[in-house]
Amino acid sequence: MRTIGLIFRREFAAYFATPLAAVFLAIFLALAGGMTFFVAGFFDRGQADMSGFFLWHPWLYLVLMPAIAMRLWAEERRGGTIELLMTLPVRPWQIVVGKWLAAWAFAGIALVLTMPLWITVNMLGNPDNGVILASYIGSWLMAGSFLAISACISALTKSQVLAFIGSAAVGFIFVMAGFDLVLAGLRSWAPPVVLDVVRSMSFIGNFQRITDGVLEIPSMIFFISLICFALWLNVRAIEVKKAA
Amino acid sequence: MALVETRDLVKKFGALTAVDHISFSVGRGEVVGFLGPNGAGKSTTMKIISGFLEPTSGKAFIAGHDSHADPITARRHLGYLPEGAPAYSDMTVSAFLDFVAGMHGMTRQKSNSRLAELVERVDLAGVWNQRIESLSKGFKRRVGIAQALIHDPDVLILDEPTDGLDPNQKHEMRSLIRSIAADKAIVVSTHILEEVEAICSRAIIIAKGRMLADSTPSELMAHAPGQGSMAVAVETAEPQRIVDLLAKQPGVDNVEITSHVNGTARFLVHSGKTKPSGAEIIRVLAKSDIMVEEVYLERARLDEVFRQITKQIAGA
């Protein structure tokens, strides 16, 4: 546990060692706010809820989460520090978990900073705060899924740019898994059960079920399982690179 | 007990065999110089011993622990300086060393007292709160050494610890290595041969992944070409005349002109067991009115041995 804590602290501090953290948080808040107020028409809808805010999260995360996670491993490979880290008395899974937790905590800060919107909604009316809490948790879990996938892809390359593009591409497939864009390619040859599985893995579909306040638990379990699976793949990727 | 041991290490990258059946062991108090041309497999071997790379076959042990089957215990005994002394550039020296100490499971109290000692020894006090990215190459290397020494390991593996340092820094690094050598097993890779003479009790030469020699530097030098020959320097316009004069002396096998620059010719007088002394050479040449500028017994140089040994395999 102590080892994971040390890795976590180092990685978390690394975000704030450069202006990256401030820039990222500013962009996140500007985009999240802009989408809510101008695109989703927060005031025009005349409803005291936050669905116009959460609606955009899959798309925001698609771009912003790879930006957080791309450095996790690629930077270590480029700088050679991976050799230092991997020859300290630490297991690969501890590094994987510590790094992911740091990125996830950073995403958590970004979410916490949107609290003024929640306060505004509560001042304007009587929203269902249970649904809002579930949506926040769901959004954070979805962010964690994007981060785990991106971290895994970052482990495969030295290049942060490649890590970003690869992560965004894989993320896009997950976001769109419930739509024809992805399903049409499968429909012609895959059996219906495969289609159902792919559809059930859609980030938009799962996240919507959480923000709608129905069937939160299975969707949350989906995101948690996906995080675990991606982290396991991350460990495997590192072990395979070691033997190569 | 051997603190470092490799048994038949083999590492293949696709069709390339980077490490080809390397076996050796290093005991406490030994400093082993790992020599070889660039691309010989020095770094790869070190990466395998440290546990960063898995061998294709064979085993590596640190203080008796298999560095792949039992990596955590093995690494607790290991201080490792990877090639290029990588360190987290966005951290300060103190934060970085704290991090490494913590990863070795050292308590805050223990690591603080150890760090205080290391700061003195490695001379890092001036840059303690500076970010690593802002440090010069010499300081970065020292941070790397401090990082490897922090938990006072039994085994040190240093991949080119003096690469890129200026002569003063090289000298400091060598004194540091010598000062800690007595109670540790140290493996140092280098392609600077004077370094091996300066700090190593043993030299292992590898090329193309194969071990070509494993002995003390003086044993290696005994095989050097030119060992025991007399070197002579004379100011002359016609060196061939001097060659003829010296070749006639009893015991001389042949005389070689090694250079002829700015009017000064240098010769190597190769001979069998009975060799002419320096005084004799001076006397013989003086008889023909030739002034000798220098005469000395040629000392074999390790780089000659190195070249000879590594050339054989390059040709093979």
Chain B residue numbers touching A18 (CB-CB < 8 A): 90
HEC states along A189-234? CCCHHHHHHHHHCCHHHHHHHHHCCCCHHHHHHHHHHHHHHHHHHH
- Return the exposure string of B81-101: e unless at least 16 CB atoms fall within 10 Å of the residue's CB, then b: bbbbbbbbbbbbbebbbbbbb
Chain A residue numbers touching B84 (CB-CB < 8 A): 80
How many angstroms separate the CA of residue B300 from the nearest CA in chain A? 38
The predicted structure's pLDDT at residue B224: 66
Instruction: Give me the mean pLDDT over the B218-227 stretch.
Output: 70
Residue-level pLDDT, tens digit, chain A, 244 residues:
789 999 999 999 999 988 888 899 999 999 988 888 777 777 777 676 788 889 889 999 999 999 999 999 999 999 999 999 999 999 999 999 999 999 999 999 999 999 988 998 888 888 888 889 999 999 999 999 999 999 999 999 999 999 999 999 999 999 988 887 778 877 888 888 888 888 888 999 899 888 888 767 899 999 999 999 999 999 999 999 888 7
* Residue A223: exposure state from Cβ atoms within 10 A (0-12, 13-18, ≥19): buried
What is the rounded CA–CA span in Å between residue A244 and residue A82? 15
Q: Cβ separation of A3 and B54 shorter than 8 Å?
A: no
Give yes or no for a contact between B200 and B221, defined as CB atoms under 8 angstroms apart: no
Q: Three-state SS for B290? A: coil
B12-28: per-residue pLDDT in tens?
998 899 999 999 999 99
Chain A residue numbers touching B52 (CB-CB < 8 A): 83, 86-87, 242
Q: Does A88 touch chain B (CB under 8 A)?
A: yes
How many angstroms separate the CA of residue B82 from the nearest CA in chain A? 7
Q: Cβ separation of A6 and B99 shorter than 8 Å?
A: yes
Q: Cβ separation of A89 and B99 shorter than 8 Å?
A: no
What is the rounded CA–CA span in Å between residue B37 and residue B192? 10
Pairing outcome for strands B65-66 and B16-27:
unpaired
DSSP 8-state code for residue A36 = I
Sheet holding B31-35, edge to edge: B78-81, B155-159, B185-190, B31-35, B202-207, B210-215
Give yes or no for a contact between A195 and A187, defined as CB atoms under 8 angstroms apart: yes
The predicted structure's pLDDT at residue B21: 92
Give yes or no for a contact between B212 and B278, defined as CB atoms under 8 angstroms apart: no
Q: How many CB atoms lie within 10 A of CB B305?
A: 24
- pLDDT band, very low/low/confident/very high, at B313 (cuts 50, 70, 90): low
Q: Three-state SS for B137? A: helix
* Closest residue of chain A to B81, computed from CA coordinates: A84
Q: Does A10 touch chain B (CB under 8 A)?
A: yes
Partner residue facing A84 (CB), from B53, B71, B82: B82
Chain A residue numbers touching B87 (CB-CB < 8 A): 81, 84
Q: Is the pLDDT of residue B227 over 70?
A: no
Residue type for position A234:
N
Q: Which of B99, B100, B103 to mutate to test the interface with A (most CBs of A within 10 A)?
A: B103
B132-158: per-residue pLDDT in tens?
999 998 899 999 999 999 999 999 999
DSSP 8-state code for residue A39 = I
What is the rounded CA–CA span in Å between residue A50 and residue B283? 105
Chain mean pLDDT for chain B: 87
What is the rounded CA–CA span in Å between residue B18 and residue B130? 38
How many angstroms separate the CA of residue B137 from the nearest CA in chain A? 15
Q: How many CB atoms lie within 10 A of CB B9?
A: 24
pTM: 0.86
Chain A residue numbers touching B99 (CB-CB < 8 A): 6, 10
Min mean pLDDT across A185-194, B29-38, B193-202, B305-314 is at: B305-314
Q: Three-state SS for B274? A: coil
Domains of chain B: 2-222 (3.40.50.300), 230-298 (3.30.70.100)
B185-215: per-residue pLDDT in tens?
999 998 777 788 888 999 998 988 899 888 8
What is the rounded CA–CA span in Å between residue B224 and residue B299? 9
What is the rounded CA–CA span in Å between residue B153 and residue B150? 8
Give yes or no for a contact between B92 and B131, defined as CB atoms under 8 angstroms apart: yes
Residue B304 in tokens:
């000659």
Q: Cβ separation of A89 and B91 shorter than 8 Å?
A: no
Give yes or no for a contact between A10 and A95, defined as CB atoms under 8 angstroms apart: no
Q: Cβ separation of A6 and B103 shorter than 8 Å?
A: yes
Q: Cβ separation of A243 and B147 shorter than 8 Å?
A: no
State in Å, rounded, how far the first CA of chain B is from the last one.
Answer: 36
Give yes or no for a contact between A94 and A3, defined as CB atoms under 8 angstroms apart: yes
How many angstroms separate the CA of residue B195 from the nearest CA in chain A? 24
Here the ipTM equals 0.89
Partner residue facing B104 (CB), from A18, A89, A243: A89
What is the rounded CA–CA span in Å between residue A125 and residue A5? 41
**Nearest Cα to Cα of residue B148 among B81, B219, B242:** B81
Q: Which helix (H) or strand (E) holds B101?
A: helix B93-103
Q: Is B226 left (phi over 0), alpha (psi -120 to 50) or beta?
A: left
* Separation of CA B253 from chain center: 34
What are the residue ranges spanned by the domains of chain A?
Answer: 2-243
* Closest residue of chain A to B74, computed from CA coordinates: A89
Residue B281 in tokens:
């050479």
Give yes or no for a contact between B24 and B211, defined as CB atoms under 8 angstroms apart: yes
Q: Does A243 touch chain B (CB under 8 A)?
A: yes
